Structure 1
Amino acid sequence: MEHRHSLIKSFSFAINGLKGIILKERNFKIQLFVGVLAVILGFALKLNPAEWLNLVIIITLVLILELVNTSIEQIVDLISPEFQEKAKIAKDVAAATVLVASIGSIIIGALLFLPKLLATLSL
């Protein structure tokens, strides 16, 4: 049976999902907080459009992967409440995607911010 929802209802589901993850998932809160700090720093250091593009893409990527990771964890826990090695691997790999993106975001942040911070400090 196919369910068709209005566009407004679909957005409502998405917003509820976002509210839920913000309220319940510590790691998402941390990633969101770091992303907001990076945006504030970007304004303070007057990033150019290309730098903003890189910053927004990496912040978005990390947050998306955190959402996907949480979804995978929830699905695995639902279908496999008892320990199974394959379930563990699925959850570990999903978590690893966030880790890889987070490491990439640190590298991108360093490339974007360090030269500007060093230039500002050496006035």
Structure 2
Amino acid sequence: MKRLWNALMYSLFGLKDTFVMERAFRQEIIATSILLPLALYIKVSLCLKLLLIVCNITVLIVELLNTSLELIADIVSPGFNIKVKHAKDCGSAAVFLSLVSWFIVWMVAFSQWLCAL
């Protein structure tokens, strides 16, 4: 139980630190806090509701991974390094693609919801 408790605490510290340090993560948390209740409210299939929720969480996960990649890259190579730049660009691209998928799923949900009205 102690190990599980410690893992929970480390995770919460990581969420808090990222929220404090990363503006993009704060924006995504704000969007998620608005969109998750909306996902539960709109009248779409249960499958689509779950997909909306999973896409929201996936964006947060990818942002956390990108932030950790950037922090480690800055420690390992404080000066300019083309390979580090490439790694950071890949992390940024991963965040972008998760946001694109988030947007697509929300547009499908909104279109289904509006058609049902």
Query: Could you tell me which residue of structure 2 aligns to residue 114 of structure 1?
Result: 111
Q: Does residue 20 of structure 1 match 2:17?
A: yes
1:18-57 residue pairs with structure 2 within 5 A? 18-57=15-54
Supply the distance in 2 between the matched residues of 1:84 and 1:114 (Cα, whole angstroms): 45
C-alpha distance in structure 2 between counterparts of 1:12 and 1:99, whole Å: 29
Partner AA of 2:76 in structure 1? I
Q: CA RMSD in A?
A: 1.5
Q: Following TM superposition, by how much is the alpha carbon of 1:119 offset from its aligned partner in structure 2, in angstroms?
A: 4.3
**Candidates 97, 100, 111, aligned match of 1:100:** 97
Q: CA deviation at 1:113?
A: 1.4
TM-score (norm 2): 0.90
1:50-103 per-residue CA deviation (whole Å, 9 max, x = no partner) reads 122111111111110000000000000000000010010000100100001101
Rounded to whole Å, the distance in 1 between the matches of 2:103 and 2:73 is: 29
Whole-Å separation in 1 of the counterparts to 2:7 and 2:37 = 31
Structure 1 residue 6 displacement after superposition = 2.0
TM-score by length of 1: 0.86
Using the TM superposition, name which of 87-96 and 41-50 deviates more. Answer: 41-50
Question: How far apart, in 1, do the equivalents of 2:94 and 2:57 lie?
Answer: 14
DSSP 3-state at the match of 1:82: coil
Partner of 2:88: 91
* Conserved? CA contact 1:45–1:117, under 8 Å: no
Which blocks of at least 5 consecutive residues in structure 1 are unaligned?
Answer: none
1:6 maps onto 2:3 in alignment: yes
Equivalenced residue count is 116
Alpha-carbon distance in structure 1 between the residues aligned to 2:42 and 2:5: 38
Q: Which deviates the most, 38-47 or 108-117?
A: 38-47
**Offset at 1:47?**
3.6
CA distance in 2, matches of 1:117, 1:43: 15
